[in-house]
A and B are shown apart, each in its own frame.
Chain A
Amino acid sequence: MNSGVRIESVKKTFGSTNVLKDINLEVEKGQLVSILGSSGCGKTTLLRIVAGLEQASDGHIYFGEDVQDSVTVEKRSIAMVFQKALLFPNMTIGENVAFSLSAKKKAPKDLDKRVSEMLELVRLPGFENRRPGELSGGQEQRVSLARALMRNPRILLLDEPLSALDANLRVEMRNFIREIHDSFEMTTLFVTHDQEEAMSISDKIAFMESGILEQYGTPDSFVSKPESRRVAKFFGCQNIFTGHIKGHEFQTLFSCFALDSGSQHEGRALAVRQEDLTISSKPSEHCFAATVVGWQFVGSRILVTCEIANIDGSGISTVFVETDRFSELVKNAGVFVCYAPRRLHVLPRGE
């Protein structure tokens, strides 16, 4: 039995600190939603409240239509995987996987069969009689996932399950989690601080910052339509210019950007992704003059730093452009930085 999760005006205070400030979030049935944010933003606390390991100071948690506020942890239809695999050291791998079912008054008759099927699913066939200490980190985490899935919960909660693994394994494991999610179609909440991880596996991302849900939407919307400076920055946008809208243009300190006339804009900051800008030696319709002051390699691409004098002479503004054409770059050369109006995005909450 599968259901969505509704988090309704949840607040949490520890002493005098507000860890969560009025969080509202609705996760649709069968979706994989990442709760993303830097450490200390309250994402783990939120997940623990959903699990019932913490009590919210205010607000409600619903699984489907069922309010969970007074349901104790063990009665909630959840299963949770933590950052550490936490395999019970006094049990074999098989006993670990069977843990949630062997508890019941009548353990299923085909328990052994189900355990071995589940171990096959997480690609650890025949591991029943091994001990936790004999496994690698990735294997342990897969056993932990198998153990959680055995409970067949309505909601699967994953609290940074990959952050203790090394980089290559993380990529493999996150794809694996997505595969498992797709085959069970289980509503999943996935807490992470890794933007790339969230982007690659989620149906939706809930981005949190300082106890506030900053933005909730598809991974794509965080890149193309960030709602605030924080979101834009966290998702790697390096150009955020303060200014104001003037008709169909956005006036910044150093230039006037033409906005896409087809859509509505409102806000006082303009986000332009560095990869949406190009450097050219000739002027074109949408561009401004700048001086190349330096560059560095970012992977196989080059991040160029350009400077432009402000219109009112109050100083210099910096613009970052990501390009793959190294040959055209000359230090201190005057160039034109070009943009496409429909790639510009005014931040609605970009105070």
Chain B
Amino acid sequence: MRVIRPSVLGLFGFWLLFPFLSIILWSISTGWRYPSVFPDGYSLRGFRVAFDPSGDMLRGVITSTLIAVVVGVIATLVGSAAGRAIALYSFRFKKAFQFLVLAPLIVPGLAVTMGIQVLFIKFGLADTIKGVVLAHLIPTVPYAVMIMSGTFANFDKSYEEQGQVLGASRIRVLRRITLPLVVPGLAVSFLFAFVISWSEYILTLLVGGGAVKTLPIVLFAYLRGSDLPLVGAASIVFMIPPLVLLRFTSKHLVGRTSSVTGLGKV
């Protein structure tokens, strides 16, 4: 293993962490004017306002979590099915199917959303959480499919046959053999979908029409209100869930569990 020089590491760390540092300082400051290096004074007012039960933020956290979890689960399910098909089976129009799966990453989301909004209003999905979930699936499913097709490309179908010829039913094969072997892929796929949904702003705004207040929508409103200590505090709250999730899935992102290598076959 190569060793990175401490100075390089320090520079890199500073570049990554400096924005966070200023957010943390803002969140506990009373004010911070231009020439001074450090804030004028410190207080926890930002956090107190942010965590006010009658404020928007706590409800935003709940809405965002709900949407991101549902999106993560659905995207991972769809991604598993499509990824397995792409990696393990050959079928007619496979190339076209692969292209269509990736298309949402290539076509600008905003353009599509305009069309979607008209459609959603027609079906009564505009301004609802259901509609927002559906909209969030557009940018998340392609990633889930890519991750899961990579996972299944490294999955040996023979394990399933081996289970069957030892008397295991399909359900038992799925539970005892297939699932444990693709868990790293599922975890990474869920992480990606969750994080993308968690930080999605434009789609939520257009489809949710301000009625569905996810955390990014709330945060944006704070930003316009220019109460920067509050923005700092809310930003910190905003960063925590993805980091917690990353903590639990990181072992699947690198090394050891070899089932997820790169981003798959698509």
Contact = CB atoms under 8 A, between A and B. Distances in A.
Interface of A: 51, 53, 73-75, 78-80, 82, 84, 86, 88-90, 99-100, 103, 147-148, 151, 157
Contacts of B181: 89-90
The 9 closest A-B CB pairs, nearest first, are A80-B165, A90-B180, A86-B162, A73-B164, A100-B166, A100-B167, A74-B167, A74-B164, A74-B169
A73 B156 CA distance: 18
Interface in B166-206: 166-170, 172, 176-177, 180-181
Contacts of A74: 164-165, 167-170
Contacts of B38: none
Contacts of B177: 88, 90
A123 to B, nearest CB: 21
Interface of B: 156, 158-159, 161-170, 172, 176-177, 180-181
Tell me the interface secondary structure of chain A in the complex.
mixed
Contact of B159 (A79, A86, A147): A86
Nearest to A101: B167
15 contacts: A73-B161, A74-B164, A74-B168, A75-B167, A79-B166, A80-B165, A82-B161, A84-B158, A89-B181, A90-B177, A90-B181, A100-B166, A100-B167, A148-B166, A157-B165
A79 B165 CA distance: 5
Interface centre among A51, A73, A78 (most CB of B within 10 A): A73
A86 B170 CA distance: 17
A272 to B, nearest CB: 44
Contacts of A80: 162, 165-166
Interface centre among B166, B169, B176 (most CB of A within 10 A): B166
Contacts of A51: 165
B159 A78 contact: no
Contacts of B167: 74-75, 79, 100, 103, 151
Nearest to A157: B165
A99 B177 CA distance: 10
A82 B164 contact: no
A10 B169 CA distance: 26
A12 B21 CA distance: 69
Interface centre among B159, B162, B169 (most CB of A within 10 A): B162
A100 B164 CA distance: 10
Nearest to A144: B162
A53 B180 contact: no
A180 to B, nearest CB: 17
A148 B164 CA distance: 11
